[in-house]
Amino acid sequence: MQEAGRRRSSVLTKREREVFELLVQDKTTKEIAEQLFISEKTVRNHISNVIQKLGVAGRSQAVIELIRMGELKI
């Protein structure tokens, strides 16, 4: 049996989680890139990957779905 409060398995990779946690803090792509020491293109790729995984239309819907799934907190 798993520990209470632990996720069985996350939809997000560690980096995708970092990107989306900053996104819900109203950070821009540029700010996220600077904070994580990655390129803006890489930030956009992480966001696109999550949108595709979830089958949603955009960033906002991805955030809503991740919150609904308990993957993200605001």
> Is 6 a member of any domain?
no
Question: At a CB cut-off of 8 Å and minimum separation 6, what does 6 contact?
Answer: none
User: What share of the chain in percent tops pLDDT 90?
Assistant: 84
> Is 59 a member of any domain?
yes
Global pTM? 0.86
Cα 46 from chain centre: 8
pLDDT per residue as tens digits for the range 41-71: 999 999 999 999 999 999 999 999 999 999 9
Q: Are 62 and 54 in contact (CB under 8 A)?
A: yes
Give 8's pLDDT tier (boundaries 50, 70, 90). low
Q: Which residues form the domain of 22? A: 14-68
Maximum alpha-carbon separation in the chain: 41
The count of domains in the chain is 1
Burial class (CB in 10 A: 0-12, 13-18, 19+), 19: buried
> Is 4 a member of any domain?
no
